[in-house]
Every structure is written in structure tokens, then in C-alpha cells.
Amino acid sequence: MNPNHHDERTRIRQAIDRLLTGQATASNGSLTAAALAVEAGVHRMALMKRHADLKNEFYERVRAETAQIPETEKRLRETVVKLKQTVADKNAEIFELRQQITRLTLAGAVLTERLNDAEDRSSGPGNVVRFTRTE
């Protein structure tokens, strides 16, 4: 293992401990991966890519030790709630539009039938032949 890699892992573990005890020195103290990277003095992408296991360990410890949900998970949950509401609204709108299509189709059929009845009753003089519409 690269000594620099081992040093990063050690700094990340120490940063995890500081964040969980509320003794942040370099970050704002929030329980996020970004704050963890700042606190450990590593690039955020290094934490996400090379040390994903430590990032996951951090979030597990946040849940277990602080009984808090990580900020990223809170945002995802809020997004899921909003999306579920959007889907429900769209489903209701689709249902209403389908009902309206049915009503308009029935109204069109009734009007067509009334028009046909009116044409049948109004026959012209005996020598006039009415042409029927073919649509």
C-alpha cells in the first residue's frame, strides 16, 4: 500500500472521529462526505473513489452513533416524496383527461345522431334527392 494512501486513510478515520464527536477543526462540522473530505484534508473525489469504504463507514457510524440521517439521504428522501407527489398529480390529471375524452366522445356521438335524425325528418320536395355526408 502506498504510504500516502495509508496516511490519507488515517487522516480520514481521525476526521470521522472528530466529526462524530462534534470537534471539527477544518470543516463546518456537518455530517456530510464533503465536510469529511475537508476535515481530513483530502480531495472530495479521492474520498469518493479511493476511499469509498471509509465514506460508507462514516455514514453507517453517523446513523448508528448519532441516530441521524445523513444530509444526502435526507435530500434524497425529500426528492422522493416530491416525485411521488408529482406522479400522483400526473396520474390524477391523466385519469381526468381520459374521463373528459370519454365525455367528449359521447357528446360527439349524441350530436351526430341528432344531426342524422334532423336530416331524415327534413326531406325536401319529392323530386329533390338529398346527398348524405360521408365523413
pLDDT band at 118; cut points 50, 70, 90? confident
Torsion of CA 107, 110, 113, 114, to 10 degrees: -100
Q: What is the pLDDT of residue 126?
A: 59
Q: What is the pLDDT of residue 128?
A: 64
pLDDT band at 133; cut points 50, 70, 90? confident
Residue 86 has pLDDT above 60, yes or no: yes
In percent, the amount of the chain with pLDDT more than 90 equals 53
Of residues 135 and 93, more confidently modeled: 93
Instruction: Give the separation between CA 32 and CA 112, rounded to whole angstroms.
Output: 66
Rg of the chain over all Cα atoms, to the nearest angstrom: 35
pLDDT band at 93; cut points 50, 70, 90? very high
Mean pLDDT of the chain: 87
Q: Are 130 and 124 in contact (CB under 8 A)?
A: yes
